[in-house]
Amino acid sequence: MAVLTSALLRLYAVTPLPLAHLLGLLLGVLFYIVPNHHRQISAINLALCFPELSKMLHQWYLLLTLIETGKTLFETPILLLASKTRLRRMVRSVHQQQLADRAIAQQGVVMATFHLGAWEMAGAWCSLHYPMVTLYRPPRQQQLEQLIRDSRARFGARLVTLDSRGIRTSLQALKQGEMIGILPDQDPRQHGNLFAPLFGIDANTMTLYGRLVQKGGAAALFCTAERLSFGRGFRLHFSQPADISATESLAQITAALNRELERQIRTQPTQYQWSYKRFRTRPPDHPPLYP
């Protein structure tokens, strides 16, 4: 089964990006019409985070969000398997990469990417340009793990799992002036958490991100790959918030992390992974937000 899945993904990965995004659009419309998990959870999250939207605008955001979800599903095999040449062709512009160039020349860097836009593109682009260790959580579909590991490591990145051994490796890499890649915006299963506001809601947020910044004495940067319309490719954005540094407390860094996440989402609200139950873990005595 694993061999068949891998073969199908590799076959699909040669699909032109405009065609992949067209197929994603059609799938997104289907997600909107037919009741399903993506529609249900996305609708709840959009209502929670954008309560000011009218019913009509909420439905419009929901449709666009599901279309972007469809595009994500169809573009991921391409981004996981694209050659250096093809990957570079898909990137139309890069904003503020000098922030990363300047930081990596001076110290280790914790490069965070949110589940916004094409996060696989953001990670691949960084691994093309910098010595990098990527923290990852093994996928639930175990047959895909080796493919994902090989794909994310194809440009030289080292992959380590989100466990104590992987964290030790990451801290060593930071002290050697390397870059650590991490996706810090999902409900943490382990390694510490704090509740911090996100769109005015207390969100269970990983503290590992802050601990890496603190213990590694690292610069904190972010990279996002904005998906352009009509399959034109991607625009990369680097940023470095002033309120995240190794001298801040863990609570301050965690709160600042969610502020940066919210800021980025507001710039492209329909490209976030709203189908994920981001507010699944609630503070004590708070009612659940999902059925």
DSSP reduced 3-state for 135: strand
- Provide the pLDDT for residue 11: 76
- As a whole-number percent, the residues of the chain with pLDDT over 90 amount to 88
- Residue 67 neighbours by CB under 8 Å, 6+ apart: 24, 25, 28, 29, 32, 270
CA dihedral 171→174→176→177, nearest 10 degrees, is 180
H or E element in which residue 134 lies: strand 132-136
Cα–Cα distance list, 119 to 73, 125, 181, 238, 254 (Å): 12, 10, 11, 13, 20
Mean pLDDT of 138-167: 88
pLDDT in tens, 211-267: 999 999 999 999 999 999 999 999 999 999 999 999 999 999 999 999 999 999 999
What average pLDDT is seen over the chain?
Answer: 95
Mean pLDDT of 72-100: 97
- Provide the pLDDT for residue 138: 82
Contact 276, 240 (CB under 8 A): no
- Residue 89 neighbours by CB under 8 Å, 6+ apart: 233
Q: Is residue 283 part of a domain?
A: no
d(CA 208, CA 192): 7
- Provide the pLDDT for residue 190: 66
Closest alpha carbon to 211 in 187, 188, 192: 192
Half-sphere exposure of 102 (CA within 13 A, CB side): 9
Structure tokens at 250: 């863990």
Closest alpha carbon to 90 in 181, 226, 223: 226
- Provide the pLDDT for residue 221: 98
Mean pLDDT of 16-20: 97
Mean pLDDT of 69-77: 97
β-pairing, 219-227 with 234-239?
Answer: antiparallel
**108 pLDDT higher than 90:** yes
Q: Is residue 279 part of a domain?
A: no
More confident residue, 7 or 27: 27
Cα–Cα distance list, 280 to 184, 248, 275, 287, 291 (Å): 15, 27, 12, 10, 10
Q: Is residue 280 part of a domain?
A: no
d(CA 193, CA 195): 7
H or E element in which residue 195 lies: strand 193-198
Diameter of the chain measured on Cα atoms: 53
Query: Where in the sequence is the domain holding 106, given as residue range(s)?
Result: 2-271
pLDDT in tens, 137-149: 887 777 678 888 9
Q: Is residue 217 part of a domain?
A: yes
Q: Is residue 141 part of a domain?
A: yes
Contact 132, 180 (CB under 8 A): yes
pLDDT in tens, 172-196: 999 999 999 999 999 997 668 999 9
Contact 24, 72 (CB under 8 A): yes
Q: Is residue 80 part of a domain?
A: yes
**269 pLDDT higher than 70:** yes
**88 pLDDT higher than 70:** yes
Compute the 3-state secondary structure of the chain and give helix, strand, coil in percent, each to the nearest 5.
Answer: 50, 20, 30
Q: Is residue 128 part of a domain?
A: yes
Give me the number of domains the chain comprises: 1
User: DSSP letter string over 204-232?
Assistant: EEESHHHHHHHHTT-EEEEEEEEEPGGG-
Q: Is residue 290 part of a domain?
A: no
